[in-house]
Amino acid sequence: MELTSHVQRRTSSTGLSYIECGSTDLPVGLVCIPGWGCRADDYQYVLDQISKHSPPLCHAISVDLPGYGQSPTTVCPDPSISAFATAVLSLCIEINLRSVVLAGHSMGCRVALDISVQAIHDGKLAIKGLVFLDGSHYKFRPSLFAFDDNDVRSKKMTDEEKLEKRCEAFRRMFSARTPLEFQTSALAHIEGLDKKYDALVRKSHLDYDFERMDEDLDTFGRSGTPFMNLQSTDVDPQNQRVPLKQGQKNQWMHFIQQKVSQARQYVIEDSSHFPHVDQSEAVVEKLLIFMPSE
């Protein structure tokens, strides 16, 4: 996917790649974090929408997590949710984004939440808001995927079979609104990943859900920091994403409300697991209302 003229790619001093738009003079930045196996470019549709506003409404960046997109694994040789969070936090400080709203998609929800908790404890970054894009909790899922190393089914599968199962899972997370260009590039990206590194990331992703998710949401809820959840799917008994309709609320959404009483939650209709791609205008509309002015 090629970047539009309003969106530029940058690289941090540590080698972390990111794309950005908007004015660096604005007081609050928007930091977008992609999901597992995803790239900063996934948010290009969001950044394109934001960049159309004049004067600029915010300084927005989207980060390639280590090992994904154009960020090498050497940025973070021992990958984990917390290590990724520390890398993104350091990037924000390096480029003078000291006051931010964090937006995480899928696994990126975990990274964004971890950054928020780190910031609550050390005060290096002012978190003005947290946004989840179609997150979930593996505690509520009927099973892992067959390609997951912790699933017994994976023991009889070759690496090639695991990759095909993963690509199949991604295909099912696209909708009729997902651009073909995005689908093609997303699948090509998955096929080119470092499998061993990616497996370590996946393990940390799952461990986070069962070991830390609940406590970190409690910590964030007590902080009183604004929170918005944009949900587009639920998970069915076959462990597949199914679109939600207005008025529906899944177990994950009820769980969020219990943990974070200040949460604002909205359903993004006519989308699958990538609402920031399928319905970028609707997502940006919610984001810009949520963004603080100072």
pLDDT at 294: 64
Tens-place pLDDT, residues 112-166:
999 999 999 998 899 999 999 999 999 999 888 888 888 888 788 898 988 898 9
Q: What is the pLDDT of residue 154?
A: 78
| 173-221 confidence digits (pLDDT tens) | 999 999 999 999 999 999 999 999 999 999 999 999 999 999 999 999 9
Residue 27, in any domain of the structure: yes
Between the alpha carbon of residue 255 and those of residues 24, 118, 161, 270, the distances in Å are: 36, 22, 34, 23
The count of domains in the chain is: 1
Residue 58 exposure: Cα atoms within 13 Å on the Cβ side: 28
pLDDT of residue 2: 63
Q: Report pTM.
A: 0.95
Give every CB contact of residue 123 below 8 A, 6+ residues apart in sequence: none
SS (H, E, C) 159-192: HHHHHHHHHHHHHCCCCCCCCHHHHHHHHHHHHC
β 263-267/227-231 pair status: parallel
Report yes or no on 1 lying in a domain.
Answer: no
Q: Summarize pLDDT for 23-81 with one digit per residue, the tens.
A: 888 878 999 999 999 999 999 999 999 988 767 778 999 999 999 999 999 999 999 99
User: Is residue 3 in some structural domain?
Assistant: no
pLDDT digits (tens, 9 = 90+) for 213-228: 999 999 999 999 999 9
What is the rounded distance in angstroms from the CA atom of residue 54 to the CA atom of residue 26? 13
164 within a domain of the structure (yes/no): yes
- Burial annotation 91-106 (CB, 10 A radius, 16+ → b, else e): bbeebebebbbbbbbb
Arithmetic mean of pLDDT, 268-292: 96
d(CA 23, CA 215): 35
In a domain, 80, yes or no: yes
Q: What is the pLDDT of residue 45?
A: 94
Q: Angle at CA 138, nearest 5°, toward 106 and 260?
A: 70
Edge-to-edge strand order for the sheet containing 17-21? 8-11, 17-21, 59-63, 29-33, 99-105, 126-133, 227-231, 263-267
pLDDT at 145: 85
Burial of 264 (0-12, 13-18, 19+ CB in 10 A): middle
**Range(s) of the domain holding residue 187:** 8-290
Tell whether 206 is covered by a domain.
yes
CATH code, domain with 122: 3.40.50.1820
- What is the per-residue pLDDT for 193? 96
Assigned domain for 2 exists = no
Q: How many CA atoms lie within 13 A of 93 on its CB side?
A: 13
Residue 5 has pLDDT above 80, yes or no: no
Specify if 140 maps to a domain: yes
Q: Which helix (H) or strand (E) holds 217?
A: helix 213-223
What pLDDT digit, counting tens, does each position of 210-269 carry? 999 999 999 999 999 999 999 999 999 988 999 999 999 999 999 999 999 999 999 999
Answer for the pair 39, 107: CB distance below 8 angstroms, yes or no.
Answer: no
Per the model's pLDDT, the better-predicted residue between 89 and 292 turns out to be 89
Mean pLDDT throughout 102-108? 98
Inform me whether the pLDDT recorded for 3 exceeds 70: no
* First-last CA distance in the chain: 33
CA gyration radius, the chain = 18
What pLDDT is stored for residue 271 in this prediction?
Answer: 97
